[in-house]
Structure 1
């Protein structure tokens, strides 16, 4: 239904309307942006209201043949592949070599670009101030706390902003963003990217572990593990078990620590996560409990 989204966008521009104006009291601006980008299909009620405001019939919107093929489709897919697999070094190089920013015009695409850029600044360069600027810019493209619906990436950006603020010594602001991201999960429409939200539980749990608030950390770790299991996906599952094992070891429950670290090691091997395979293996060796696999 990419043609439908392109048609809506075409008539919106002909009417000299912004996304915010067209979406007002019909849907959130972020939803409209996703519709226009072909990432979401409007239900019958929303489609009717959008067409009515644009002054066209639903039939015209659906039947219009707009042969629009996004020139940035391959670029976005490559960025997404690197991002989803936490390959930030490769992502940084790709963004630099391809000068991607010039390819994007839609709000959701620009948001994802700055989210990727900010993540690279954080994980590769340890440039927390630069990451804060990029992530803030990314969020502002579509996010409003008054929205009734949030996208997966909006919630992830909220969580990442929380981590960055805390790393910059602004703990109160950071915890607010982290908790906002947890609350927003309930307002996300589940889709093929929903598994990425597991990272939110890891982010807040790791912060609590650093503060030695182990009870709180374990609560979020268990929630994250359950969330991943419910989606039948192993994204960030190794990291969650790694944190859980590390807490158990500090608390003196070495048996549970060994078991959970072994699970983390097995998951990391299974998904070919070299970084986590190395980390978990080193920890098991240090604990004198490296199983023969």
Structure 2
């Protein structure tokens, strides 16, 4: 939907918001539509358009191609974030004007990506908060989509990286409960992206529970993540999940054979996915682990 068509027509006719919405809806409803893209009910929108000499269909002219293009851009950015290619993700985000996104789902995707980028790159807390607030308090205020829980993940990650564990725990507990409630759910009708987002939730929650040494939860989450990757033939997260398994195994003082096997698997999947960030992380952990093993000997 191209809301600018609606706005430009109203302004060209010199009709104020107050006058346009009289006996149809509140000015607040109209303002949210024009300024925030909050689409009112079809009945209200039809009446508003009729008063401007438009049809609802007029607002969709040329918007399908724009929406498709925007979705393609956002999906690419999401892939870059999953692969930890933050420079490419940043470049993609900088090319998008949030004001040009009129689809609510795409708006949530954009604000989630902008917020999680800030969290993962130790950016500005206020920027991340704004992005997640747009989702939690506006676009998904009833908390009915997965973007609510992705926002909790972003906030949890940010607090965790600031070592504000109590605050991080607050958000990760919400996500842990969500994961358990939906653990048997399938998302086949929603496409591959929903699985990738579920894996994002599982991965960062597991990572946090490793940090606070809750290995029961982290082991369960990693196992779920690996199972989901296997069932859906998704390799994006396998190197990172295997890496988490190796970290847990080291902390739990598992055998050298098991630890080295997990690190080897993680490295193999990282090479398949061309994830040099994980490769470097694995090599660093291997070096540290070997040094500690030699010291113990």
Query: Quick check: TM above 0.5?
Result: yes
SS at match of 1:164: helix
Residue 205 of structure 2 is matched in structure 1 by 204
Q: Does the alignment pair 1:279 with 2:281?
A: yes
- Between the aligned partners of 1:117 and 1:184, the Cα distance in structure 2 is 26
- Between the aligned partners of 2:25 and 2:178, the Cα distance in structure 1 is 30
Residue 272 of structure 2 is matched in structure 1 by 270
> RMSD of the TM alignment (CA)?
4.0
Cα offsets for 1:189-223 (capped at 9, x unmatched) = 54221231112111111111111122221111111
CA contact (8 A) 1:158 1:180 kept: no
Q: Does the alignment pair 1:161 with 2:161?
A: no
1:73 to 59, 64, 68: 68
1:67–1:131 Cα change, 3 Å: closer
CA contact (8 A) 2:240 2:278 kept: yes
Residue 25 of structure 1 is matched in structure 2 by none
1:284–1:130 Cα change, 3 Å: same
Residue 11 of structure 2 is matched in structure 1 by none
CA contact (8 A) 1:139 1:158 kept: no
- Between the aligned partners of 2:209 and 2:231, the Cα distance in structure 1 is 24
Residue 93 of structure 1 is matched in structure 2 by 91
Cα offsets for 1:15-49 (capped at 9, x unmatched) = 9679xx9xxxxxxxxxxx9xx9xxxxxxxxxxxxx
Question: Hey, which bits of structure 1, 4+ residues long, moved more than 3 A?
Answer: 14-18, 50-55, 66-70, 139-142, 144-147, 165-168, 183-190, 285-289
CA contact (8 A) 1:136 1:161 kept: no
Q: What does 1:100-249 align with in structure 2 at a 5 Å threshold?
A: 100-145=97-142, 147=144, 150-151=145-146, 153-167=147-161, 169=164, 170-182=167-179, 183=181, 186=185, 190-196=190-196, 197-249=198-250
1:52–1:83 Cα change, 3 Å: closer
1:161–1:171 Cα change, 3 Å: closer
Cα offsets for 1:232-265 (capped at 9, x unmatched) = 1012111111011111122221221111111110
**Unmatched tracts of structure 1, length 5 or more:** 22-32, 37-49, 56-62
- Between the aligned partners of 1:271 and 1:166, the Cα distance in structure 2 is 27
Q: Provide TM-score, normalisation by structure 2.
A: 0.67
- Between the aligned partners of 1:100 and 1:121, the Cα distance in structure 2 is 17
Displacement of 1:187 after TM fit?
A: 8.2
Q: Provide TM-score, normalisation by structure 1.
A: 0.68
- Between the aligned partners of 1:106 and 1:206, the Cα distance in structure 2 is 32
1:282–1:173 Cα change, 3 Å: closer
1:245–1:99 Cα change, 3 Å: closer
